[in-house]
Amino acid sequence: MSRNLTNILWLLGLGILFFIPFLGNVHLFDWDEINFAESAREMLETGDFFRVQINYEPFWEKPPFFFWLQVISMKLFGINEFAARFPNALIGITSLITLYYIGRKLVSEKFGMIWSLVYLASILPHLYFKSGIIDPVFNFFIFLSIYFLILTLQKATNKSLNSLLAGIFIGLAIITKGPVGLLVLILCFIIYLIFKKGRVKIPILSVIIFFISSLAVTFLWFGYETINNSPWFVLEFVQYQIELLTEPVAGHEQPIYYHFVVVLLGCFPMSILALPAFRKKASEVPFDFTLWMKILFWVVMILFTIVKTKIVHYSSLSYLPLSFLAATALYPRLGENQHFKLHKAIKISFLVIGFIFGIPLVAVPYLFNHSELIIPYIKDDFAVASFNTEMNWQGWEFLLGFIFIIGLLVSSRYLFKQKLMPFLFTMAISTGITLLCYSIFVVPKIEKFSQGPAIEFHESMEGKDVYVTTIGFKSYAHFFYTKLKPSNSSDWIEQIKNNYKQGLSTKKEFNPSVLTTITNNWLMEGEIDKDAYFVTKVTLRDEMKGREKLTLLKTEGGFDFYFRSKNN
The pLDDT, as a whole number, for residue 565 is 87
Q: Which residues share a beta bridge with 468?
A: 533
Do residues 165 and 210 share a domain?
A: yes
Domain endpoint, select from 449, 476, 502 = 449
Lowest-confidence region among 230-234, 289-293, 462-466 = 230-234
The pLDDT, as a whole number, for residue 473 is 85
Do residues 430 and 456 share a domain?
A: no
In a domain, 344, yes or no: no
Do residues 30 and 64 share a domain?
A: yes
Give the confidence band of 100 by pLDDT, cuts at 50, 70, 90: very high
CA 267 to chain centre: 14
In a domain, 389, yes or no: yes
* Rounded distance between C-alpha atoms, residue 545 and residue 44, angstroms: 39
Domain endpoint, select from 390, 414, 449 = 449
Count of structural domains, the chain: 3
In three-state secondary structure terms, 392 is: coil
Domain endpoint, select from 305, 338, 371 = 338
The range of the structural domain enclosing residue 34 comes to 3-251+258-338
Do residues 98 and 181 share a domain?
A: yes
pLDDT in tens, 107-155: 889 999 999 999 999 999 988 999 999 999 999 999 999 999 999 988 7
Categorise residue 392: left if φ over 0, alpha if ψ from -120 to 50, beta otherwise: left
* Rounded distance between C-alpha atoms, residue 532 and residue 543, angstroms: 18
Do residues 160 and 13 share a domain?
A: yes
Mean pLDDT in residue range 377-391:
85
The pLDDT, as a whole number, for residue 335 is 39
In a domain, 345, yes or no: no
pLDDT at residue 493 greater than cutoff 80: no
pLDDT at residue 334 greater than cutoff 50: no
- Torsion over CA: 247, 139, 319, 70 (sign): positive
In a domain, 95, yes or no: yes
Q: Is the peptide bond before 269 cis (omega within 30 degrees of 0)?
A: yes
Mean pLDDT in residue range 57-74:
89
Give 128: exposed, middle or buried? Use CB within 10 Å, 0-12, 13-18, 19+.
buried
In a domain, 206, yes or no: yes
Q: What angle do CA 520, 521, 524 make, to 5 degrees?
A: 85
Mean pLDDT in residue range 511-528:
75
Do residues 386 and 414 share a domain?
A: yes
The pLDDT, as a whole number, for residue 487 is 65
Do residues 79 and 214 share a domain?
A: yes
pLDDT at residue 215 greater than cutoff 50: yes
Maximum mean pLDDT: which of 175-184, 231-240, 306-315: 175-184
Q: Which residues share a beta bridge with 554?
A: 561
In a domain, 436, yes or no: yes
Give the confidence band of 465 by pLDDT, cuts at 50, 70, 90: confident
Q: In the chain, count of helices (H) and strands (E)?
A: 26, 6
**What is the identity of the amino acid at 43?**
M
Lowest-confidence region among 164-168, 330-334, 366-370, 386-390 = 330-334
Do residues 313 and 374 share a domain?
A: no
* Rounded distance between C-alpha atoms, residue 11 and residue 269, angstroms: 18
In a domain, 346, yes or no: no
Do residues 178 and 245 share a domain?
A: yes
pLDDT at residue 333 greater than cutoff 70: no
Write the CA distances from 557 to 21, 117, 458, 498, integer angstroms: 29, 41, 15, 37
Instruction: Compute the mean pLDDT over every residue in the chain, rounded to the nearest whole number.
Output: 85
pTM of this structure = 0.89
Do residues 304 and 363 share a domain?
A: no
Q: Is the peptide bond before 396 cis (omega within 30 degrees of 0)?
A: no
Do residues 366 and 426 share a domain?
A: yes
Do residues 170 and 271 share a domain?
A: yes
